[in-house]
A and B are shown apart, each in its own frame.
Chain A
Amino acid sequence: MKVTRRDLFVWGAGAAAGLVFSPVPWKLLDDTSIWSQNWPWIPQPARSPVEVKQSFCSLCPQGCALKVRMAGGWPIGVAGVSTSPVTRGALCPLGYGAHQLNWHPRRLQAVRHKESVSSWGAAQTAFAKACGEGPVIVIDGYPGRAASSILEAFAEKRGSYRVALSPELGALAPYERWSGVPANALGYDLENARTIVSGAPMLDGWGSPGRFTRLWAESAAGAKDPQLRLIQIEDSFSRTGSRAWQSVRIRSGSESALAAGLAHVLLDERLVPARGPIPRLTLADAAAQAGISEDAIRELARTMVERRPTLVISNDENPQVAALNVLLAATGARGGIVRRTKGTRHLPADAVNLNARAILIDAKVPWNFTPETDAEIFRFAAWDDGTSKSDWLLPAPGFLEELTDIPAAPTSAIETYAVAPALSKPRFEVQSAAQFLGNLDPSLGTTEKLIHGRCNGLFRERKGTLYGAARVPLEKFDSVQKVEEQLWKGAIWTGDPPSVGGWRCELKEWPQDPEKLRSRDWASEWPAAVLPPLAVKLYQESTLREAPERRNA
C-alpha cells in the first residue's frame, strides 16, 4: 500500500485531534507556568526551618504589630498579630508585602553623589565639612523614636531639628495652635465616639489599620442603625464611602467650605452649646462651593449631633474642619480628641523653607517631601524612585533591618511603646541617619542604649500593661531586664486610658483655609515605583481605583 501525501495530512490531522484529548498541551501549559516562577534570576525565599517572630513595622509611624515568618535569617512572610491591642491583627497592603521590599529592584544599594556611585567615607567627609561651614538642619519623619533623639541631639549642637508631619499628625496640628497642647500628645478616642464625620480614608488604611476597621466591624458593619455612625465626606466614592452609614459627595477641595457651612447651621440652630466665631463664608456660598444644597448641609449638621459624642476627623491639616470639633465640644472630651500624654514638647514642623549649609533627611521622611532650599542635601533612603534632587543619596536599612523603637501612633488615644529588633541583615552596607551621625559624634549614644534607657523609664514608672504572650500589668515585673526581654520579643506596652478634660481649645476667630493639602493614605507617600507588586495588586483590587502612579501623576 502506497502512502500518499494526502495520507500524511490526514494522519497529522488525526494526531492533532488526539493531542487535544491527551494531557500533553494542558500539562505542558501548567508545568511551564510553574517553571517560569523558578527562573534563576527570580529571588527565592530561603529553604530552611521556618520560625515565627513578633516585631513591629516601622515603615510608617503607625507601628503595626507583625508576625514575621523567618527562614534562613530572612523574612519570608508577614501577617498581623491578632492579640495586639492596637492593630488587632490587621495590616495595610504595604505591610503585607513588606518582606518583598528588601529585594525590590529600586533598593538603594550604594551611596550616590549627584547620580554617580560614591562611598560612605566620601559622604561622611562631605557632611563633616558642611557641618564645619555652617548650620545643619536635620529632618525627621518619625518623631519620638530613640533614633529621633540622636537626630535631635546632633541638630541642637550643629543647627536645628525639624519634623515632616504625617497627614494624621498634621490633622491634629490646629489643636496645638489653639490649646498649646502638642499635636503629638493628642489622639482620637474612637472607641467612645458614637458619630464620626470623616474626610479621611477610615476603612482604607487611615491610622493604625486594625483599630478602626475592627471597631467598625464590631459596632457598625451591616447594621441599619449602628452604634457607631460613620458619615464619610469626600470628593470621590471610596471603599470607605461605600461602607459608611452615610456618604456625602462634595467637590474636590471644598472640605473647608463645607465645614464653614456646617458651623453656620450648628450655631444658627443652636445645635451645639458652644458659642464660637461665625465663619465669613455664608451658608449659600458654602453650599455652592461644596456642590451640595443648603438643605443638605442643614440636614447633615442635624444628623451629626443626633447621636453624640460626635468626632470630626480631617484627612489632613485643615483648621476649618478641626474647628468643628471645638464647636462640638469634642476636644478634651470622651469620644473626642483626647490627650494621651502629659508631654509638652512641641514638634518643630516648619520644614518647608529651610536655610542652612546642609540638610540631612532621615529615611522615614516620605519620598515626596522635597525641601525648597539651596543647601546640600544628604538624604537617607532605603529605596530610590529616581526623582530625588538630593546631592547625596545614602542607603538606609530596609524592612526589619535595623533596631528601632516604636512610639505611640499619631492617632492613638493611649500611650504605647514597643521595640522592633533587626531581624535580618542587610545584603550591602547601609547606615541609618542616627548611626551616621553617631559615627561623627560618638557622644550622641546609640539607639540600643537609648532604648534600654526608655525601658528603664517604663519600669520605674510601673504604669500600664505589657501585652506579650500574656497581658501583664507592668507593676508585676520585678526587673527591667524582664520588661526589656518581653519588649524585644514583640510585646507592646500600653499606658493608662486617656484622661478626659485637662485641656481645651480656644477659637478666637474662624480659621483660614490651609495653604496646602497633604496626601491621603498609605500608598500616596510611597512612590509607585517602590511599592511591592503584592501591595499594588491588593491596592488596585481591593478598592477598584486607579493605580497609584496614575493617581499621583
Chain B
Amino acid sequence: MMSRNQFVFGFGLAVSLFAGWVLFPRALYSARPQPVEFRHKTHAEKSGISDCSQCHAFRDDGSYAGLPSIDTCAGCHSERIGTSAAEATLVDHYIKPGQETPWLVYSRQPANVWFSHAVHVKRGGLACTECHGSYGESDQARLYQVNRISGYSRDIWGHSMSRLRRKPGDGMKMSDCEDCHRRHGVDVGCLGCHQ
C-alpha cells in the first residue's frame, strides 16, 4: 500500500516530468510561418524537378549557393500560376518588386561554424537527406520554430527533446557532426569547422 509520502512525492515527480517534457518545449519555442507557403512535393511532381541541386545549386566555382534567389523562382512564376494565396504573395510581394523572399532557414548554424556543402556532397558523397531529412518530399512548409533563448531554429537541437531515437536529419548540433565524422572516419580537427 502506497504511503501518503510516497503518493505526494510521486505526484510532485509526475507534475515536474509533465512540465519538463510537455509544457517546457511549448514554452521554449515560438512558431512562425514561412513568408510563402512552399511545397517541395508539388514542385517535384508538377515541375519535374527531380534533384535538389536544380534549385539549391552549386556555383561555377564549386561553392554552394544555398537558397535559390528570386530570379530562379521567376523562371516559372513571373506571372501567377494558379489562384492560391501563396502564389499571389510570391508573385506580388516578391517576384514583381524584385525582392528576395526572406525565408526562415531551418538549418542556419551559428556564425562561428563553417560548413561546406561542396565538401560534404561532392567529396563526401552525402545525400541531402542525411542532414536535412525528407524535407524535400514535404507537402507543406512547416512552421519555423525558433528557440526563444538561443535564437536558433529547433532543427538544430532536433525535434525530440531527449535527442533519443531521432530520425535521420533530425538535429544539427556539433555532436551530430562529430558522430557522423566518427562513423565515416573523417577527422578534421577543430579548425575544420571553426576556422
Interface residues of A (CB under 8 A from B): 6-7, 10-19, 21-24, 27-28, 30-32, 34-35, 37-38, 44-45, 47, 49-50, 52, 69, 76-79, 96
Contacts and interface: CB of A to CB of B under 8 A. Distances in A.
26 contacts: A6-B5, A7-B4, A13-B9, A14-B9, A14-B11, A14-B16, A15-B13, A15-B15, A17-B9, A19-B20, A21-B20, A22-B16, A22-B17, A23-B162, A27-B157, A34-B152, A35-B150, A35-B151, A37-B112, A38-B110, A38-B151, A49-B65, A77-B114, A77-B195, A96-B191, A96-B195
Contacts of B151: 34-35, 38
A24 B18 CA distance: 11
How many chain B residues sit at the interface, stated as a range, is 35 or more
A14 B195 contact: no
Interface string B149-193: 111100001000110000000000000000000000000000100
B20 A22 contact: yes
Contacts of A30: 150, 157
A24 B24 contact: yes
B45 interface: no
Given A17-B16, A27-B161, A22 B24 contact: yes
B66 A49 contact: yes
Interface string B116-135: 00000000000000000000
A44 B12 CA distance: 43
Interface of B: 4-5, 8-17, 19-21, 24-25, 28, 61, 63, 65-66, 110-112, 114, 147, 149-152, 157, 161-162, 191, 195
Given A11-B11, A14-B10, A22 B195 contact: no
A75 to B, nearest CB: 11
B16 A23 contact: no
Contacts of A69: 114, 195
Contact of A32 (B8, B149, B157): B149
A45 B40 CA distance: 31
A6 B59 CA distance: 68
A14 B4 CA distance: 13
Contacts of B15: 14-15, 18
B12 A18 contact: yes
Contacts of A7: 4, 8
A26 to B, nearest CB: 9
Contacts of B112: 37
From A34, A78, A96, name the one whose CB has the most chain B CB atoms within 10 angstroms. Answer: A34
Contact of A34 (B4, B24, B110): B110
Contacts of B147: 31
Given A24-B24, A49-B66, A19 B16 contact: yes
Contacts of B14: 14, 18
| A-B pairs, 4 with minimum CB distance | A22-B20, A14-B12, A18-B16, A14-B9
Contacts of B149: 28, 31-32, 34-35
A11 B114 contact: no
Contact of B8 (A11, A31, A44): A11
A30 B162 CA distance: 13
Given A21-B17, A21-B20, 6 more contacts: A7-B8, A18-B12, A19-B16, A27-B24, A27-B157, A77-B195
Contacts of A37: 110, 112
Contact of B111 (A10, A18, A32, A45): A45
A77 B149 CA distance: 27
Contacts of A28: 149
Nearest to B152: A34
B20 A24 contact: yes
A134 B55 CA distance: 68
A18 B8 contact: no
Contacts of B114: 69, 77
A34 B150 contact: yes
Given A24-B24, A79-B195, A11 B66 contact: no
Nearest to A541: B190
B152 A10 contact: no
A520 B173 CA distance: 40
Contacts of A35: 149-151
B16 A10 contact: no
Nearest to B162: A23
A11 B8 CA distance: 5
Contacts of B8: 7, 10-11, 14
A416 B15 CA distance: 72
A11 B195 contact: no
Contacts of B24: 22-24, 27
Contacts of A21: 17, 20
A37 B20 CA distance: 25
Given A10-B9, A44-B111, A69-B114, A18 B17 contact: yes
A11 B9 contact: yes
Given A23-B161, A24-B20, A17 B66 contact: no
Given A15-B12, A17-B13, A52 B63 contact: yes
A52 B62 CA distance: 11
A44 B20 CA distance: 33
A490 to B, nearest CB: 13
A285 B22 CA distance: 80
A12 to B, nearest CB: 6
A11 B10 CA distance: 8
B70 to A, nearest CB: 14
A75 B171 CA distance: 29
A417 B1 CA distance: 88
A285 to B, nearest CB: 47
A3 to B, nearest CB: 9
Nearest to A71: B111
Nearest to A37: B110
Nearest to A50: B63
B123 to A, nearest CB: 13
A27 B149 CA distance: 10
Contacts of A6: 5
A15 B16 contact: yes
A44 B110 CA distance: 10
Contacts of A23: 20-21, 24-25, 161-162
